[in-house]
Amino acid sequence: MKFFFVRDYRHKYRYFSSEPQVQIQVRFSRWKEIWDLAKKKLMLLPQRILCQEQAFRRALSSEKKVTIFHSGCLDKKRIRSKFRFFLRKQKTKHVLLLSGEILLLPLSGLAAILPGPNVFFGVLALLMITHWQALRGINRLLKKEYEFVSSTLFNEWEAALDCREETKFPKILKEIEEEHFLDSLRKILWK
C-alpha cells in the first residue's frame, strides 16, 4: 500500500493512500435499512476528506515503517516535521469532532419520533465510527517510522501549483494516476 502527502490546489497538505474508497463495514442486522441509507449519505462527503479519513484508518493495518510519497520540494527533516505537525493538527481536529458528535448523539435520538428510519442517527453514528477509526490510525502513525520518497511527478504538480498554471493540472494528474495506480486523484488534489 502506498501513502501520499501532497499539497492540493489550495496549498493545503492532503494525506491519502493508493487503495480505493470502500464503504464502512458495520454489522447491525435489524437496523440494516438505516445503516444502508446512512452509508449512502456518508459517501456524499467530499472525496478529499473521505480519502484522507480512510488513509488514516488504513494506517492501523500497515507495516512498522510507512512509505510516504511527497514532492521532494522540502528536505527530509522539514517534511518529517511538517508531517508530524499535520498529524497532530488532525488529531486535535478529530478529538474536537468526536466531542461535538458525542454531544449531538442524544439529540439524534429525538429524531426517532419522526416517521421512517432515523437517518440522522445513522449518519452521525457512521461519522463517529469514521472519525474514531481515523483517530486511532493517526495515533498509530505518530508512533511509526516514516520513509519519505520524493516523486518527480509530485514535484511537477507542486511547481505548477506555485506558478498557478492550471492548464498543466489535468496532464500532470493523469500521469500521477497512471504511475501510482490511483483513481480520481483530481477530486482529491484539484476541484
User: Who has greater pLDDT, 117 or 99?
Assistant: 99
pLDDT, one tens digit per residue, over 12-61 is 998 988 877 665 655 555 556 666 666 666 666 677 788 888 889 888 87
97: its cell numbers:
469532532
| Predicted local distance difference test score (pLDDT) of residue 20 | 72
Contact (Cβ atoms closer than 8 angstroms) between residue 146 and residue 64: no
- In this prediction the pTM is 0.80
Question: Distance between CA atoms of 77 and 81, rounded to whole angstroms?
Answer: 6
pLDDT over 90, % of the chain: 40
Neighbours of 134 (CB within 10 A): 25
More confident residue, 38 or 74: 74
